[in-house]
Amino acid sequence: MTVLKTFITAVVGIFSAATSANAIMNGVGKLPVMGYNAWNAFACNVNETLILQTAQYMKEYGLLDVGYNHVNLDDCWAMKNRSATGEVISDTIRFPSMNNLTDQLHALGFYAGIYSDSGWFTCAGYPGSFMHEEQDAMTFQSWGFDFLKYDNCAIPFDDIIREGITGKYHRMVDALAVVAEKTGTTFVFSLCEWGWNQVWLWGAHMSHSWRIDDDIAPHWKSLTSIINSASFITQATNHYGRNDLDMLEIGNGDLSYDEAKSHFTAWALVKAPLLIGTNLATISQEMLSILKNQEIIAINQDPVHGTSISPFRWGINPDWTYNATHPAQYWSGPSENGTVFMLINTLSQPADMFFNLTESPWIRAGIQYSVRDLWTHTDNGTAVRSFTAMSVPAHGVVVLLLKEDGNEPAGLMPPCAGEALSQCTAEDGTRYS
């Protein structure tokens, strides 16, 4: 909704009095959230019927079966004024019964998410939760919600709030802790702070993810800008902290099929949350198949390796070049089933993409590797020392899973591959470069 949001996903459980902001890490929130958020497709034009119909589509289309198990409201669900006693009220026409909404979502097999703000108002001008944190948290719990997205608009003046960034958000963290103590209910807390550099203050306390670029738009230029931003901060990602690249625009705007594949692949493999932001009533089967690629989803949801893939070569530009049009093209990272490679063709025409295996820090020298293509779902033989992806489509992507498959053949010349060749030396001192 706004520029440079930060999302912190936290499990808020039962807290001790001495460490009220230290969440119990019980496994919830360890992996990126998958699901649906209504904002990008519908903005404020939402109601109970639309949300439930979207959930029905998610179940009918098999999206729930592959892991998209959250259905989250965004802004505009409330009345503009609180009750006489201060309670936030859902829109009496569009959301006449929040309990009915969450009951039906739960019956379908989904978690239910709601939205509020740390300031006086939400970004669309509805009541924020400042000075009503515990009251609102109890309301959200009584309505049956499991997930709270918490925004950063309408910030109180400094002489009113008298707190820093973390203090402002700890108000709701502590409120959710009280709710947990009183009711046993826990939330996934998605915090929108709009400045990812601030998120490190939260690292010791909760699992978190942070927005890294402008709001996404459904065109290639927006995707490359966000991928470019992600390329410089992949080291920040683990099971309890991740870069959030914003919602999935699969099926929106003018994105081609190949561009949509690149979009989904990059988001999934950097371990971003996968929240669908499209109108499922109009999505094509071709675009739906992208969202349901279970081999790609398995990397996103890897329970062993929470780290992002990272660039090992920029390609068109010298390494570490900041270029929002032509970001890094060659990426790799570990997974529980092998080393993952992502090759993105940022050119406007097809291109062959070559790399030496040992350019990736996750590959061992002297080993041959079996090659699995995670988009064609085919086993493509064995790679020895190097690999070339032929005719990668314009703005397209190739994703490979390489697994060790024994020692490379004996007698290969030169005896060293790639960058090691410049210092390739026998025991007697003979150089082979």
Q: Just list the catalytic residues.
A: 151, 215
To which H or E segment does residue 344 belong?
strand 338-344
Per the CB < 8 A criterion, the answer to whether 289 and 62 are in contact is no
Q: Strand pairing partners for 90?
A: 78
Q: Any bridge partners for residue 407, and if so which?
A: 367
| Torsion sign (Cα): 41, 47, 50, 56 | positive
Placement of tokens 């459980």 in the chain: 13
Contact 211, 246 (CB under 8 A): yes
Sign of the alpha-carbon dihedral angle for 66, 69, 74, 78: positive
Residues 157, 160, 163, 168: what is their CA dihedral angle, to the nearest 10 degrees?
-80
Contact assessment for residue 210 and residue 8, using Cβ atoms and an 8 Å cutoff: yes
Closest CA to 394 of 150, 235, 276, 224: 224
**Max Cα–Cα distance, the chain, nearest Å:** 88
Burial status of residue 236 (CB atoms within 10 A of its CB: 0-12, 13-18, 19 or more): buried
Report whether 68 contacts 276 (CB < 8 A): yes
Q: What CA–CA distances, in Å, run from 201 to 116, 366, 419?
A: 22, 43, 39
CA distance 245 to 210: 8
Q: Letter for the amino acid at 138?
A: M
Across the strands, what pairs with 6?
A: none
Contact predicate 37/74, CB 8 Å: yes
